[in-house]
Structure 1
Amino acid sequence: MASTRVPTTEVDKPGAYRWYVLALLTATSAFSVADRLVFGILVEDIKADFALSDFELGLLGGLAFSLVYVLAGFPAARLADRSTRKNIVAAAIGFWSLMTAACGLATGFWTLFLARTGVGVGEGCSGPSSQSLVADYFSRAELAKAMGYLTIGASMGTAGGLIIGGQLAEIFDWRWAFILMGLPGLLLGGVIYLTVREAPRGRYAPPGTDMAQLPLGRTIISLLTNRVFMGLALGWAVQIMIGYGLAFWMAAVMLRAFPISTGDVGLYLGFTFFLGGIPGPILGGYVTHWLCLRDERWRAWLPGVVSLGCVIPLALSLTSGSFAAFLGWFGVAYGIYVASQAGIMSGIQASVEPASRGFAVAIALFFNNLIGQTLGLGVIGALSDGLATAYGTSALAVAVFGVCLVSGIASLAIFAWTAAQMGPSGYLEKMRVG
């Protein structure tokens, strides 16, 4: 079935209803990341209560979450490509919020592992629908900027998880921190269900685009053989080892490096994530938009450059003996890192057909969680345990930097290859026509 242009309505007008939807989806991203990464500020308390190693903490932060995140993501994405996406998002928020609260009831490693898998199920169902909705509320010309604003949610969630989670842990304990962080998401899910309207699917697709959903097998083959999509997805997965490593482990690095309380670490580190993570995505979205008006390959070139570029201030942060310098250089590193996300996310949406956008996001998030979260966090934890004899309390910082450096170099190479595929694959011609 060929698509047709939809007459201009309220959602097409700048500053109108679509910005309200984007704000709610950004809040969804913030709640998702906060509930996922609040674990990072609580790891030292959990480690002490349950007598866990850094490797076991890495499994709880990575494998427990990402294993089911990716398994839930594929059927949810398939559903997102054929049904009402805002309902999927609303239901997902409600479920992961309850499971975040359930983490506070854990009695040991395995019960906490199971609760974390529940968080993964809920969050795995929301991402494909959210990004697909944004792509139908904003034109291709505006998509990088819109994705930049959506990325702010991750920075807000990281900061909120650290600040609020740290304060709750200090006022109460780590169990109540999980419970009180989880429950507010139920309200957001209700607001989305009651007030968000489903956007026409493929609204901004080029005229004549086939909107019929392909059979599952053909959808998978078409995406796995799409070199631009696969390059962006794999580059993102390798690059996001940096993001997960910083968001999950930096609180523990600070607690081991400086004489400071959990609450203060959450406060200072959270505000640093906020100050670096808010302007970074916005600036990155506008810079990506400006550069892509000149050459679409900047959707891959820019992420490659910043992937390696952010490692330099990270090194200055981790080797600093000053608390202020540690935070300052870390804020610079994180701000540079998140500036790349708009290009990657908008490039993924632009490189695939509207009828397979949700499934494309699910595949990208599969690689993100398999490589970036499960492998990245697990390797950092294992390296920290292995280096403890030689480096003592600095072992975790050494492990974080080593993994981030390798990730930066590898993702630069992948994104450079992806940019080279954009001409031969027909991507550049498609963007000129669209």
Structure 2
Amino acid sequence: MMRQDIMVSDGRTSGGVYRYYVLVLLMLTFMFNIADRLVMSILIEDIKAEFVLSDTQIGLLAGTAFTVFYLILGVPAGRLADRTNRKNMVAIALALWSLMSALCGAALGFWTLLLARLGVGVGEAGGGPPSVSIITDYFAPHELSRAMGIFAVGAVLGPVLGYMAGGLIAEAYGWRWTFVILGVPGILLGIILFLTIREPKRGRYFTPEAKPTGADKGAEKQEPFMTTMGSLWTNSVFFRVVLANSFTNIPSFAFAIWLAPMLMRNFDVGSGEVGVYLGTVLFFGGVPGMILGGFLADYLAKKNPKWRPWYCSVAVLLVLPFWTLCLLSDSLEMTLFLYISGYVLLVSTQGAAISMVQSAVLPTERGTASSISSLSINLLGYGIGPALIGLMSDNWADAYGTMSLSYAVIVTVVFSLAIATFLFWWTGKAVNSGLAKV
């Protein structure tokens, strides 16, 4: 007799080991996605010293450069994911951005490093949207938050790899070889992914009950671009959760890029030591936070689907005092403790946030929806945040010295998390009983 916990409403099974193999490969892809972005953080002080750069220039390299091609190619890539072979897209994108990340090690100065970082954005634009679309067709709706929580573990392991391995490699071989050594494995993973993942049937778990309110389109036929954009624009759950998660990730990316150099400046520790500290606390706090948050959101949503966004609202609000006090502490140990306490809460929201985006739209809109969500997150979190923080830090340096960077991040944290708290609560107002099954 088939176990009841692996059945969906129309009799199809949602069980099977292979789907977890796919999920793990896509999670590792996400890990390299984040690692290739954030390895720059642990190398900032070395690169800044060799090329004589300001914090504003570092912000441009660490965030804005990556975002430029994401802005240009993000939505077209998501659109392509809704009509083409998604696993091929992920494999090609992974190999491309890993190659460009490795080429960062050959930079001759600010402009050549900027060009290489632009190339990383070209590849990464094609990685996220098809990945989450594939997962949505491998896991049933009632499992989706936990599956997305496991996928989002890559967002934790990426910084662990970037910080810990990056810091130790940089101390042993220098910042240039760090880019090369961390870039090559991504190329190999792209080959494995291309050869071993099967493309799932699109819209496999789509049912009329899960269809967004007012949608009368099929699960297979992709509508014209403007029709899709109009559908997403009028989808209140999608629109609100994208805004909420974008503001949530602004301080997350600010810490991801600037925490390592802040620790080096304020506590006089080396890149290897900082890498080990950050890698350890992120792993032991972030992995359970991602997974348990997804399970908790699924559990609460069974009682009332509004609890997915409401849980996110409460968790984000609780992050604010931890991360503000973290930046004011004069103890390295207390700084790390306060940071990881807030980090566990913040990452616990990501499985629920991703699943809400995917569940609120039609199967033929998922890639486009994911690309718009990623575009919004990257525009605010990477494109604007790091450069703005660097600019504030440079302007306040004469008055506050090494603390100028900390104060710049504090302003960003308070502003962003206060808005995100309201937006997740507002998302809950748009959720109705029709989403209880998704």
Whether these two folds match at TM > 0.5 is: yes
Q: Residue type of the partner of 1:390?
A: A
Q: Provide TM-score, normalisation by structure 2.
A: 0.94
Whether the 8 Å CA contact 1:307–1:411 is kept in 2: the answer is yes
Whether the 8 Å CA contact 2:82–2:367 is kept in 1: the answer is yes
Aligned twin of 1:186:
187
How far does residue 109 in structure 1 lie from its aligned partner after superposition?
1.1
- Runs of 5+ consecutive residues of structure 2 not aligned to the other structure: 1-8, 212-217
Residues 357-411 of structure 1: CA deviation (Å, up to 9, x unaligned) = 0000011111111112111112211111122122110111111121011111011
Q: Aligned runs of 1:24-63 on 2, under 5 Å?
A: 24-63=25-64
Whether the 8 Å CA contact 2:322–2:341 is kept in 1: the answer is yes
Q: Secondary structure at the match of 1:310?
A: helix
The alignment's C-alpha RMSD in Å is: 1.6
How far does residue 6 in structure 1 lie from its aligned partner after superposition?
8.7
Give the whole-Å Cα distance in 2 for the aligned partners of 1:41 and 1:119.
17
Decide which of 424, 429, 436 is 1:420's aligned counterpart. 429
Q: Aligned runs of 1:312-351 on 2, under 5 Å?
A: 312-351=321-360
Residues 300-352 of structure 1: CA deviation (Å, up to 9, x unaligned) = 11222222211211223222222211111211111111011011100000100
Give the whole-Å Cα distance in 1 for the aligned partners of 2:426 and 2:338.
30
Whether the 8 Å CA contact 1:88–1:129 is kept in 2: the answer is yes
Aligned twin of 1:305:
314
Runs of 4+ in 1 over 3 A off after TM superposition: 5-9
Aligned twin of 1:175:
176
Bigger drift between 220-229 and 25-34 goes to 220-229
Q: Aligned runs of 1:107-118 on 2, under 5 Å?
A: 107-118=108-119
Bigger drift between 108-117 and 204-213 goes to 204-213
Whether the 8 Å CA contact 1:77–1:125 is kept in 2: the answer is yes
Aligned twin of 2:396:
387
- Runs of 5+ consecutive residues of structure 1 not aligned to the other structure: none
Whether the 8 Å CA contact 1:206–1:433 is kept in 2: the answer is no
- Verify: 1:236 aligned to 2:258, yes or no: no
Q: Residue type of the partner of 2:407?
A: V
Q: Residue type of the partner of 1:89?
A: V
How far does residue 7 in structure 1 lie from its aligned partner after superposition?
7.3
How far does residue 286 in structure 1 lie from its aligned partner after superposition?
0.8
- Verify: 1:247 aligned to 2:256, yes or no: yes
Aligned twin of 1:23:
24
Aligned twin of 1:152:
153
Q: Provide TM-score, normalisation by structure 1.
A: 0.94
Residues 60-93 of structure 1: CA deviation (Å, up to 9, x unaligned) = 1111001112322222211111111110000001
Give the whole-Å Cα distance in 1 for the aligned partners of 2:254 and 2:159.
12
Q: Residue type of the partner of 1:383?
A: M
Residues 11-31 of structure 1: CA deviation (Å, up to 9, x unaligned) = x325x1101100001000101
- How many residues are paired up? 423
Bigger drift between 370-379 and 127-136 goes to 370-379
Whether the 8 Å CA contact 2:324–2:414 is kept in 1: the answer is no
- Verify: 1:138 aligned to 2:147, yes or no: no
Whether the 8 Å CA contact 2:105–2:179 is kept in 1: the answer is yes
Decide which of 215, 225, 230 is 2:234's aligned counterpart. 225
Give the whole-Å Cα distance in 2 for the aligned partners of 1:415 and 1:370.
19
